[in-house]
A and B are shown apart, each in its own frame.
Chain A
Amino acid sequence: MRNSAYLDLIRMRFLMMLAYRVNYYSGILIYTLNIGVYYFTWQAIYGSQQTLAGFTVEQMTTYIAVSWMARAFYFNNLDQEISREIRDGSVAIQFIRPYNYILVKMMQGFGEGIFRLLLFMGPGMILACILFPVQLPTDPKLWLIFAWMLFMSFLINSQINIITGLTAFFIENNQGMMRLKRVIVDLFSGVIVPISFFPGWLITLNEWLPFQAITYLPSSVFTGRIPDGDLLGVLAIQLIWFAVLIVPIMLLWRAARQRLFVQGG
């Protein structure tokens, strides 16, 4: 398949998302509401204390806003889509098509991501900045790094979604798996609580899991909590996880192929 066809997939998905636009008006409101409530909760938690777990109140506010809005960009339902296509059997056709199914899904996810970036995260961020005392960095270098890290967040989150979706080949009903995944990603990626608030053993555990690369690391960089010297390390963590997660996807896909050919779908 030519590359332009993959680009076309991005465009198609973008148009498709436009058809569901109303979902995103309310999506912006949902995210703003979530930011608001966590903002108020954290304000109450800080009370008269100036810093908790290395976060100042101001940093916390920015962290919440940036994290939720980053989620608005990288979030997608690739897991749901893939398991639906597996369950209704339409995935079988994908094996004979002249393209890579996983790559197609990635492209579709990316089309959705661009839509979300422009019509969801963008306006949502502006709204959040108006409503809450969010302090965005002024250094253009930080913005550039953040943009790159956000793209990596999208990749890693999509990879995790694809892995979860593909389990539908092996488990009759993976609905529970998918819900579990969503909860775990939200909790351990740091959207709900920054990782540094966790008890020590959980922080250590998280260092060995890919989830913090989705939200905690990019948001920490953007709020200026990572010193310049550590930036390369943080960028490397994301790249490593991206590379590592390719392995289970390949393995699952290969096993699924085997299974499909043996059982005939």
Chain B
Amino acid sequence: MNAIEVDKLRKTFKVQRNREGLKGAMLDLFKREYNEVMAVKDISFTIPQGEICGYIGENGAGKSTTIKMLTGILVPTSGHLKVGGYVPYAEREKFVQHIGVVFGQRSQLWWDIGVIESFRLLRKVYRVGEQDFKSRLDELVERLQLQDLLNRPVRKLSLGQRMRCELVASLLHQPSILFLDEPTIGLDIVVKSEIREFLLQLNKEHGTTILLTTHDLQDIEALCSRVVMLDDGNIIYDGSLDHLKMTWGKGREVKFQFAEQVSKEKLSILTAGLPVVLEVQSEYEASVIVPQDANVSDVIARVASGVSISDLSIEETNTDDIVREIYRTGNADQPSKQGVS
């Protein structure tokens, strides 16, 4: 069964145009002008039950608009969609009983009172029985280690603590589909990996379908078997992450800082024979781009054998880079490896 079915979904917005200057403002006083903007352009995809799917794209690509249509917040301009067997906007109040939503940037908890109070209220809102609520809360609290936080007001929680509470809040009613909009934004690495682990477990044990938007490639790597990529309202890629990275990722970038002056020639000799791209920033700094299929440790070993390194860091290509790369060439089906060769 499919958890989410989307067919030729479209959303257009009317945007008011403001004319410039005093004269423009005066003109606006009497007659306004509008532009139509199509945020989502007839996209189609399906997500089977139990899948974790990453929904990526640059800001303004139409991610949030899609998520908001899927969760029943926005009414589509045209097209069909079915989520968990419901048409979200048509039967919203019944439908939302079966989904959980976390907007990373916005809280659904009461700011000034203990977290537990928010949970209690949500129990009532979602009509969860006292017994179910207790056992569910205990489970979630233990998993996410919130025991000590329950009575603290939200405003006194750290971002990581708050995000874990947001997750609990969105899961109290055992939704079968979970929507996460930037769930790890601004969190430190430890909390990020805790949350990823938790989501994986949730998916495994309860078969919860998860759709998440993120800018963090590691989120997707850790969680998603599938990636849907959006650009300017169109789906430009739908498939596995590996395939995407293979064809579009520039690979990883190893950044070196040297303790001595190093010439470009010396580095070229050291890395000769490896399928890498060398970029020298200064006599003390250089970076090496290593494609997905090559080995990073080889590169580091080679360089370290010839010069003394004071510092190094390895950076993954993030989804924004990939999207930008795809966008630059305009089409996801025709990969080119000019970045590497």
Contact = CB atoms under 8 A, between A and B. Distances in A.
B151 to A, nearest CB: 24
A21 B22 contact: no
B102 to A, nearest CB: 27
B26 interface: yes
Interface in B164-185: none
A244 to B, nearest CB: 38
Contacts of A18: 22, 25-26, 28-29
A18 B28 CA distance: 9
Interface in B1-48: 18, 22, 25-26, 28-29
A15 interface: yes
Nearest to A16: B25
A21 B25 CA distance: 9
A18 B18 CA distance: 11
Nearest to B22: A15
A19 B25 CA distance: 7
A18 B24 CA distance: 10
Chain A interface category by residue count: under 10
B18 to A, nearest CB: 8
Chain B interface residue bracket vs A: under 10
A1 B22 CA distance: 25
A263 B48 CA distance: 58
Contacts of B28: 18, 21
A19 B20 CA distance: 11
Interface in B131-183: none
A101 B26 CA distance: 29
A21 B18 CA distance: 13
Interface in A124-143: none
Which of B22, B26, B28, B29: most chain A CB closer than 10 A?
B29
Nearest to B29: A21
Nearest to B24: A18
Contacts of B25: 15, 18-19
Interface string A10-24: 000001001101000
Nearest to A17: B25
A19 B28 CA distance: 9
Contacts of A21: 28-29
Contacts of A19: 18, 25
B206 to A, nearest CB: 42
A21 B28 CA distance: 9
B298 to A, nearest CB: 53
Interface in A1-47: 15, 18-19, 21
A250 B22 CA distance: 35
A124 to B, nearest CB: 16
Contacts of A15: 22, 25
A18 B26 CA distance: 7
A21 B29 CA distance: 7
A87 to B, nearest CB: 15
Nearest to A25: B29
A89 to B, nearest CB: 16
Nearest to A22: B29
B6 to A, nearest CB: 38
Contacts of B29: 18, 21
Contacts of B22: 15, 18
A259 to B, nearest CB: 24
B66 to A, nearest CB: 31
A118 to B, nearest CB: 11
A21 B26 CA distance: 9
Interface in B77-117: none
Nearest to A14: B22
Nearest to A24: B29
Nearest to A21: B29
A18 B29 CA distance: 8
Contacts of B26: 18
Nearest to A18: B25
B244 to A, nearest CB: 43
Nearest to B26: A18
A15 B28 CA distance: 12
A223 B28 CA distance: 37
A114 to B, nearest CB: 13
Contacts of B18: 19
Of the candidates B18, B25, B26, B28, the one having the most CB atoms from chain A within 10 angstroms of its own CB is B25
A134 B18 CA distance: 39
A18 B25 CA distance: 7
A15 B22 CA distance: 7
B232 to A, nearest CB: 29
Given A18-B22, A18-B28, A18-B29, 8 more contacts: A15-B22, A15-B25, A18-B25, A18-B26, A19-B18, A19-B25, A21-B28, A21-B29
In order of increasing CB-CB distance, the 7 nearest A-B pairs are A18-B25, A21-B29, A15-B25, A15-B22, A18-B29, A19-B25, A18-B26
Interface of A: 15, 18-19, 21
11 contacts: A15-B22, A15-B25, A18-B22, A18-B25, A18-B26, A18-B28, A18-B29, A19-B18, A19-B25, A21-B28, A21-B29
